[in-house]
Amino acid sequence: MAEQRKRKQVVTIDDVAKAAGVSPMTVSRVMNGFSGVKDTTREAVMKAVEELGYSPNIAARSLARHGSGRVGLLYSNPSAGYLSQFLVGALDGAQAAGALLLIEKCAPDPESEKAAIGKLVAGGAGGVILPSPHAESYSAQSELKAAGVAAVAVSTGRLRSDASAVRIDDFAAAAEMTRHLLELGHRRIGFIKGAPNQTASAERLLGFETEIRNAEPVASGLIEQGDFTYRSGFEAGDRLLSAHQPPTAIFASNDDMAVGVLAAAHRRGLDVPGQLSIAGFDDTSIATTVWPELTTVRQPVSDMAETAVKMLIEEIGARRRKGDRDPAERMLPHALIVRDSTGPAPKGD
Amino acid sequence: MAEQRKRKQVVTIDDVAKAAGVSPMTVSRVMNGFSGVKDTTREAVMKAVEELGYSPNIAARSLARHGSGRVGLLYSNPSAGYLSQFLVGALDGAQAAGALLLIEKCAPDPESEKAAIGKLVAGGAGGVILPSPHAESYSAQSELKAAGVAAVAVSTGRLRSDASAVRIDDFAAAAEMTRHLLELGHRRIGFIKGAPNQTASAERLLGFETEIRNAEPVASGLIEQGDFTYRSGFEAGDRLLSAHQPPTAIFASNDDMAVGVLAAAHRRGLDVPGQLSIAGFDDTSIATTVWPELTTVRQPVSDMAETAVKMLIEEIGARRRKGDRDPAERMLPHALIVRDSTGPAPKGD
DNA sequence: GGCTTTGATGTTAGCGCTAACAAAAACAGC
DNA sequence: GCTGTTTTTGTTAGCGCTAACATCAAAGCC
């Protein structure tokens, strides 16, 4: 019933300019949130944009900006539950900023990282985003520095003082989860540590220990080493549960290990959460796959990726204007997700 | 020691043209595998490309191609293990074809699909890729047809005769897995069906049944309904295992359900694969997360996505040239991945 | 009032690539 | 040799957008 014909011809900046009675340049300025535009003009442009349903052509923008807004992303494990969320966020951020995302896979060893970074730089990336495992890699960061491109690490403490980072407050999150368990009445709480070489592991442990120490009559010494894998969680859980006085709750440093604990508990015929509460960390897809669904801490993975992209683009811009750079660290809010794997401590315990 | 200075200046098509002593257009033709180029010229260009490390600027290409190569992708669950592989493949395909990928999230209901498709079309997508859940959606396909954009469904049988599809041979894969179990000596094999409204479910069941019927003295009637969730697998597995003569192997239609079966088996204190073999389907990340790792069927998810992008771009091109279109169905090879959850049937059984 | 300073907008040119057409080279037939 | 065809290559123009500069108006100052 309406005008359907001009399907193919997408609205361009010139159409908007004409409709708003200004020059294309002014539209461009409005679209990019540039300051020097009068409010009345800005509104007129906005209105035209709305009416015509204009959205900038990102290819043209990237081209005109002369390769600024080309951001690299290194990833390693394409089947890790969290990569898709990460990619979605990064893509969103890139889209919003009008940048192009170059994506490169690599193994988690220095050689492979080096090669991948080389490709990214050759492809014109002005900066690179390093998600979790690579964020810990000193060699990757050095490599990037040598190539003269910016870097933003995600999900890790700052390794180097000259690189920016986006992360959550692992310490506070672990403390919150511990408090959640304490409030449910648990007094013997087991903890399974993550891989020793990752900063997040240490932070999470610290959060747990601090909270435990603040609580009063609480058993200690219920800490086992894990390495973020299901199997390590299974085994650590088994050790904890075969103690003379087994814990009534176990807090694992990530979801995979928590699911391992769940398996160990089921194997012993324990009811979860009736006899044992289990908590994880990360809220990856496995947390809602298993049954009962896992109480865990959610990282805003998409937001983190989006933020990382934006920071990177800003940094590239800043760097281009003047040799100066000002590494930032941004902390995003996490959330305690209470599902069915935690409940009140068993009676008479 | 070498020339390091011109970091920023990426090699352009003109540099290559100059180096090879031809015009930029010829280089473009070579890069795009165009036919009408003399072999000697092509080689010269190739050599220059190699030496200079040239790679085309995808933004410029997309711009010059006038928005052809703008491909939409609908996704629903960003934490589903397979989305990241899918995205990676799609991104690769888009990159290779010099296309831009527009990505839009939506819920699996018709309303939401409609809105997302609208956005994609408004964004200039000439075609849309429909991964698994949406591929089954008749309404989504109608919507796309109405908007006049091409569509490629992934991981499903062809719903409509006028849409292209990329998939694996679910029937053959299920048959292979069944044969694998039979060869291990199993004679009582349980099967857990997938959600009834998905074509893949039916195909997989058919593959299983066909192979079972071909084998000689084999128990039948060991089929339970599931819906692709962990919990449904857990419950179906429990039902199968509480039979008077429980199966010695269970083949679930996807990995999530297989992991559910694994939990049910562990709860009963059964050793896997000593007393019970378990097989899954899809090879998602959970298959290697659990222990023992799952024997399963791998779908080449990345390749499928990449293929889908390429098919779509071809179809868009074909459509633009002449109103004509020729929906294709491409079948990609799957692979039987034997891990630790399947083993020889228990003795004396 | 004539002057600079500031702010808001318009102009010009070009990012790197590829359609579409134009030209040149290679080949055929007589 | 010359025309008519078929390859192969080059030319022109422009995709949609934005730096960088140019312009014009309003404001501030002596």
Kindly report, residue by residue over A309-319, the tens digit of the pLDDT. Answer: 888 887 777 77
Give the phi and the psi of residue B161 in degrees, each rounded to 5: -75, -10
Looking at B34-38, B207-211, B281-285, which range is the least confident one? B34-38
Beta carbons within 8 Å of B62's beta carbon, 6+ residues apart? A59, B69, B70, B98, B99, B100
3-state SS assignment for residue A165: strand
Min CA distance, A284 vs chain B (Å)? 7
DSSP of A119-145, one letter per residue?
HHHHTT-SEEEE-HHHHT-HHHHHHHH
The residues that bridge with B252 in the sheet, in sequence order, are: B192
Verify whether the Cβ–Cβ distance B59 to A63 is below 8 Å.
Answer: yes
The residues that bridge with B175 in the sheet, in sequence order, are: none
- Residue A335 touches partner B, C-beta closer than 8 Å: no
Quickly give B66 CA vs D3 C1' distance in Å. 40
Q: What is the mean pLDDT of chain B?
A: 86
- Residue B232 touches partner A, C-beta closer than 8 Å: no
Mean pLDDT to the nearest integer, A134-160: 80
Angle, to 10 degrees, between the axis of helix B170-183 and the axis of helix B199-214? 40
Rounded Cα distance between A344 and A347, Å, is: 8
Rounded Cα distance between B227 and B335, Å, is: 23
pLDDT exceeds cutoff 60 at A63: yes
- Say what the pLDDT of residue A67 is: 63
Task: Choose between A20 and B120: higher pLDDT.
Answer: A20
Whether the Cβ atoms of residue B340 and residue B292 lie closer than 8 Å to each other: yes
- Say what the pLDDT of residue A69 is: 65
pLDDT exceeds cutoff 90 at B291: no
Q: Which of A285, A303, A340 to mutate against chain B (most B CBs within 10 Å)?
A: A285
3-state SS assignment for residue A146: helix
- Say what the pLDDT of residue A314 is: 77
- In chain A, which residues have their Cβ closer than 8 Å to the Cβ of B2? none
pLDDT exceeds cutoff 70 at B325: no
- Residue B47 touches partner A, C-beta closer than 8 Å: no
What CATH number labels B170-298?
Answer: 3.40.50.2300
Superfamily of domain A13-56: lambda repressor-like DNA-binding domains (1.10.260.40)
- In chain A, which residues have their Cβ closer than 8 Å to the Cβ of B95? 103
The residues that bridge with A276 in the sheet, in sequence order, are: none
pLDDT band of residue A166 (cuts 50, 70, 90) is: very high
Task: Choose between B132 and B162: higher pLDDT.
Answer: B132
- Candidates A89, A84, A75, A171; CA nearest to A130 is A75
**Distance from the Cα of residue B89 to its chain's centroid:** 9
Burial A229-258 (b: 16+ CB within 10 A, else e): bbbbbbbbbbbbbeeeebbbbbbbbbbbbb
Mean pLDDT to the nearest integer, B47-57: 88
Q: Which two tokens stand for residue A172?
A: 């506070």
Query: What is the H or E stretch that residue A296 is in?
Result: strand A296-298
Is the bond leading into A56 cis (omega within 30 degrees of zero)? no
pLDDT exceeds cutoff 60 at B2: no
Q: Which two tokens stand for residue A220?
A: 């200690």
Q: Which of B282, B291, B302, B340 to mutate against chain A (most A CBs within 10 Å)?
A: B291
Quickly give A42 CA vs C7 C1' distance in Å. 15
- N-to-C CA span, chain A: 71
Kindly report, residue by residue over A77-123, the tens digit of the pLDDT. Answer: 766 777 888 888 888 888 777 677 888 888 888 888 888 888 887 77
Quickly give A66 CA vs D18 C1' distance in Å. 9
- Say what the pLDDT of residue B139 is: 83
Whether the Cβ atoms of residue B180 and residue B342 lie closer than 8 Å to each other: yes
Q: What is the mean pLDDT of chain A?
A: 86
Whether the Cβ atoms of residue A242 and residue A229 lie closer than 8 Å to each other: no
Whether the Cβ atoms of residue B209 and residue B216 lie closer than 8 Å to each other: no
Amino acid letter, B123: G
| Two domains, one topology: A68-154+301-332 and A170-298 | yes
Sign of the Cα pseudo-torsion (B59, B62, B63, B65, in order): positive
Rounded Cα distance between A19 and A26, Å, is: 12
- Candidates B273, B225, B219; CA nearest to B252 is B225
Give me the residue from A85, A124, A230 closest to B78, CB to CB: A85
- Say what the pLDDT of residue A6 is: 33
- Residue B254 touches partner A, C-beta closer than 8 Å: no
In what side-by-side order are the strands of the sheet with A150-154?
A: A100-105, A70-75, A127-130, A150-154, A164-168, A329-332
pLDDT exceeds cutoff 50 at B273: yes
- Say what the pLDDT of residue A9 is: 54
Mean pLDDT to the nearest integer, A291-310: 92
- Residue B138 touches partner A, C-beta closer than 8 Å: no
Task: Choose between B280 and A132: higher pLDDT.
Answer: B280
Please state, for a pLDDT cut of 70, what percent of chain B lies above it. Answer: 89
- Say what the pLDDT of residue A7 is: 36
Mean pLDDT to the nearest integer, B183-201: 92
State how far the alpha carbon of A311 is from the alpha carbons of A83, A103, A162, A307, B129, in Å.
19, 17, 14, 6, 31
Q: Which two tokens stand for residue A92?
A: 């969103």
Rounded Cα distance between B222 and B204, Å, is: 15
What is the second-level CATH architecture of the domain A68-154+301-332? 3-Layer(aba) Sandwich (3.40)
Whether the Cβ atoms of residue B45 and residue B16 lie closer than 8 Å to each other: yes
3-state SS assignment for residue B323: coil
Please state, for a pLDDT cut of 70, what percent of chain A lies above it. Answer: 89
pLDDT exceeds cutoff 90 at A236: yes
pLDDT band of residue A327 (cuts 50, 70, 90) is: confident
* Residue spans per domain, chain B: 13-56, 68-154+301-332, 170-298
- Residue B139 touches partner A, C-beta closer than 8 Å: no
> Given the structure tokens 């300025």, which residue do they identify?
A29
Rounded Cα distance between B27 and B44, Å, is: 10
Burial B12-51 (b: 16+ CB within 10 A, else e): bbebbbebbebeeebbbbbbeeeeebeeebbebbeebbee
Quickly give A67 CA vs D26 C1' distance in Å. 37
The residues that bridge with A238 in the sheet, in sequence order, are: none
Sign of the Cα pseudo-torsion (A47, A52, A53, A56, in order): negative
